[in-house]
A = this chain, B = another copy of it.
Amino acid sequence: MKSSTGINQQDDQRDIRILVDGHGGDAAPAMVLDALEIALSPSFAARFQGSLTLGVVGQEEVLRPLLQQRGIEDSVSLIPATDVVGMCDSPSHALRRKKDSSIHVGARMVRDGYWDALVSAGNTGALMAISKVLLKTLPGIDRPAIASMIPAVNNGRTLMLDAGANSECTSDHLVQFAIMGSCYMQATERLEHPRVGLLNIGSEDIKGTDVIKMTSVKLAETSLNYIGNVEGTDLFGNDVDVVVCDGFVGNVALKTMEGTARFLADSMRSELTSGVVAKAGALMARSALKRFKDKVNPGKYNGAPLLGLNGIVVKSHGGADAESFVSALTVACHEVSENLTDRITESIQEMVES
């Protein structure tokens, strides 16, 4: 992929070097290594332009035996880090006191150009804080945001950001999120003019907080394809590609989605297994129910990019299994092969100049 303005031109066949955090996630480290094993298959690498190099960062004495057990010690680089960030560590504690943690070492490796991306299922706040301090933000971006892909009807996708990094945002932050989200959807979904919507509590201009109203005015002045206010019900439709909100609202929306889906699936399961006829019917409809489950499987959409950093970092859900962790790896590979960081830099430059 050649960059149109010539920043950081790359060969079409670039090397994609992905480093994963060996200690992030509820089922780490085993889950992470299982995911690496899957990603080593030729069919995985074949999905991207360029050759794929995989590495894992973490405690050598823990990770080496697991690599050996799987017979992948020659195919996966092991980058040593002595410490681990816990899920309860505060971001500032992880940042200042755990400088040899897997997240810290991983982010440093990306900063210094040894690896192209870091993927972690660990502590979100710590991952964000460490990445922000080590990698810095892109010029023109004050705060990185977590972007989350949401399944939509007709196999569509909606990108929502911020999904939880910034509880309080100014209108300028939200405009920056809109630019980053738009670039991301251009690069990864091949959309020419992604439609950008502002998450609000009604479609009318008079709705929402003062920050939201101001953001709407500013978005309308950009060259983005801004379509105005959208609502929670629009997240799953085909009328918007990028939905912008602050991290508090985005995180509540995302967790509400997760809760609703789980509640509905549990309710359906209990009904379909209560009674012989219903059970038989459910058996006959099994493949349809499985297709349904696959289609709305949140794991399929696992892997939330931390956008706005001068480097590629992808957050996996902490509860991910190996298969959904592979989805997060896929997100990282796409970002690298599409030169996402350069693209966002260029877009912001263009917006500032215009």
Q: Residues on A close to B: CB < 8 A?
A: 88, 90, 151-153, 164, 167-168, 199, 201, 204, 206-210, 212, 231-237, 245, 247-249, 251-264, 266-268, 271-272, 274-275, 277-278, 280-289, 291-292, 295-296
Report how far A291 CA is from B281 CA in the complex, Å: 14
Query: Are the CB atoms of A284 and B288 closer together than 8 Å?
Result: no
Query: Are the CB atoms of A272 and B288 closer together than 8 Å?
Result: yes
Selected contact of A260 from candidates B164, B261, B286, CB within 8 Å: B261
Which residues of B lie under 8 Å from residue A206 when comparing CB positions?
A: 90
Query: Are the CB atoms of B262 and A233 closer together than 8 Å?
Result: yes
Which residues of B lie under 8 Å from residue A236 when comparing CB positions?
A: 259-260, 262-263
Query: Are the CB atoms of B248 and A233 closer together than 8 Å?
Result: no
Query: Are the CB atoms of B153 and A248 closer together than 8 Å?
Result: no
Q: Known interface pairs A272-B288, A285-B278. Does A232 touch B208 (Cβ–Cβ under 8 Å)?
A: no
User: Which B residue sits closest to A204, measured CB to CB?
Assistant: B88
Query: Are the CB atoms of A271 and B288 closer together than 8 Å?
Result: yes
CB distance from A259 to the nearest CB of B (A): 4
Report how far A264 CA is from B275 CA in the complex, Å: 23
Which residues of B lie under 8 Å from residue A258 when comparing CB positions?
A: 232-233
Which residues of B lie under 8 Å from residue A251 when comparing CB positions?
A: 201, 232
Report how far A282 CA is from B221 CA in the complex, Å: 51
Query: Are the CB atoms of B274 and A253 closer together than 8 Å?
Result: no
Which residues of B lie under 8 Å from residue A287 when comparing CB positions?
A: 275, 277-278
User: Which B residue sits closest to A234, measured CB to CB?
Assistant: B259
Q: List 5 A-B contacts (CB under 8 A).
A: A90-B206, A233-B258, A233-B259, A236-B262, A237-B259
CB distance from A237 to the nearest CB of B (A): 8
Q: Known interface pairs A284-B278, A288-B272, A289-B271. Does A235 touch B248 (Cβ–Cβ under 8 Å)?
A: no
Selected contact of A252 from candidates B88, B204, B247, B252, CB within 8 Å: B252
Report how far A251 CA is from B209 CA in the complex, Å: 13
Query: Are the CB atoms of A284 and B291 closer together than 8 Å?
Result: no
User: Which B residue sits closest to A270, measured CB to CB?
Assistant: B292
CB distance from A234 to the nearest CB of B (A): 7
CB distance from A235 to the nearest CB of B (A): 5
User: Which B residue sits closest to A275, measured CB to CB?
Assistant: B288
Report how far A252 CA is from B296 CA in the complex, Å: 21
Selected contact of A263 from candidates B153, B231, B252, B284, CB within 8 Å: B153
Report how far A260 CA is from B264 CA in the complex, Å: 10
User: Which B residue sits closest to A255, measured CB to CB?
Assistant: B232
User: Which B residue sits closest to A201, measured CB to CB?
Assistant: B251
